[in-house]
Amino acid sequence: MDKPHIIEVKTGKPYAIAVGEGLLREAGSWVATVQKPGRIAVVTDSHVAPLHYPELEASLTAAGFTPFLHVFPAGEASKTLSTFGDILNDLAEHQLTRTDKVIALGGGVTGDLTGFAAAAYLRGIGFVQIPTTLLAMVDSSVGGKTGVDLPSGKNLAGAFHQPALVLCDPNVTDTLPTDVFADGVAEALKTALLGDADLFSLMEQGQWRSQRNQVIERCIRIKADIVEEDEFEQGRRKLLNLGHTLGHAIEKCTAFAVSHGHAVAMGMAAVARAAVANGLAPAALAKRIQAALLANGLPFTLPLPMDEILPAIASDKKRAGSRLTVVVPTAPGDCRLLDLSLTEAQAFLRKGA
């Protein structure tokens, strides 16, 4: 195995993200750098458990750990207070103490749930993220946002809780269904578009699989840079919401039939068209973004008429009072934040239909 690349994230509590093929096999010795070998909890979902837990378990055991496993049913429908409670109860039944740790092995759902459970258990214990989807590698395992969905909306309860360590093994994404992989590609293209023109060029033809380590690493670096500067989303971190104002509204209006990454792809294309129509970007930019989405197997047209989607941006969680920030792409690697009233935002975005 090539030596993993390490990205240091200098948040309030700094931590390392290691990226390397075959890292899952070595996870035990990596975890031992942040935790004395002994008992350790692992949380994963019902899809990931049979695929990747045996390798993690063997590696933890070889490094002197005694892991115990908590498995919940795979899918966003499990990202609830009820599953969160089940995890807390299991940690308590195993008498985990303040100095123990919990490992999240899985996609964004597992990471968000486990991170929130780690933030709440005994008022906070350490956790390690081992993301297994591309989305979790490039996005959800960086930045320390954890949480669960409530009946009233997604991610409405949670905490900022930074992990002690993140281990990304790109080989693990080989078992992902095509659509789930594509969800992560949408977030990676988003990251490139807001912060790295060269990365966007590398990805836009869709032929980057042989360079996926580099893509993952560069996305992590961009997100880490932004998060370091703005850990609690007061300013620059809002850039990461590119494509998300409409994306969330699309998810909501289709009752989540359109997945998050696919909705973000549609939202990104529409906000680019709106940027052109509002005179903030050249026409070539919207065309280039659409072509990049297409080449990467992602959609760029809206699943419903814009007028049916726009009312739903009113429930955007990122809204501050009656205003919301729309992230507008102006060139590859460059975006602007527009602070608009709800009516202004709707008028701006309507032109991107």
Ligand X SMILES: NC(=O)c1ccc[n+]([C@@H]2O[C@H](COP(=O)([O-])OP(=O)(O)OC[C@H]3O[C@@H](n4cnc5c(N)ncnc54)[C@H](O)[C@@H]3O)[C@@H](O)[C@H]2O)c1
Q: Which residues bind ligand X (CB under 6 A)?
A: 45, 47-48, 51, 74-76, 79, 106-110, 112, 132-133, 135-136, 139-140, 143, 145, 154-155, 172-173, 175-176, 180, 183, 260
The verdict on whether 57 is a catalytic residue reads no
Using CB atoms, what's the residue nearest to ligand X?
Answer: 108
Closest distance to ligand X from the beta carbon of 237 (Å): 10
**What is the rounded CA–CA span in Å between residue 77 and residue 100?**
28
The verdict on whether 260 is a catalytic residue reads yes
Closest distance to ligand X from the beta carbon of 99 (Å): 25
The verdict on whether 241 is a catalytic residue reads yes
Contact of 213 with 221, CB cutoff 8 Å: no
The verdict on whether 187 is a catalytic residue reads yes
Catalytic residue among 79, 221, 223, 252: 223
Q: Which two tokens stand for residue 120?
A: 């709440």
Closest distance to ligand X from the beta carbon of 105 (Å): 9
The verdict on whether 229 is a catalytic residue reads no
The verdict on whether 190 is a catalytic residue reads no
**What is the rounded CA–CA span in Å between residue 32 and residue 60?**
9
Ranges of beta strands (E only) in the chain are 5-9, 15-19, 39-45, 66-72, 101-106, 126-131, 145-150, 153-160, 165-168, 323-331, 334-341
Count of CA atoms in the C-beta half-sphere (13 A) of 290: 16
Catalytic residue among 217, 241, 251, 262: 241
Taking the alpha carbons at both ends of the chain, their separation in whole angstroms is 47
Partners of residue 338 on adjacent β-strands: 326
Closest distance to ligand X from the beta carbon of 234 (Å): 16
Catalytic residue among 248, 262, 273, 288: 248
The verdict on whether 93 is a catalytic residue reads no
Q: Of 116 and 348, which CB lies nearer to ligand X in the complex structure? A: 116
> Catalytic positions, please?
123, 145, 187, 223, 233, 237, 241, 244, 248, 260
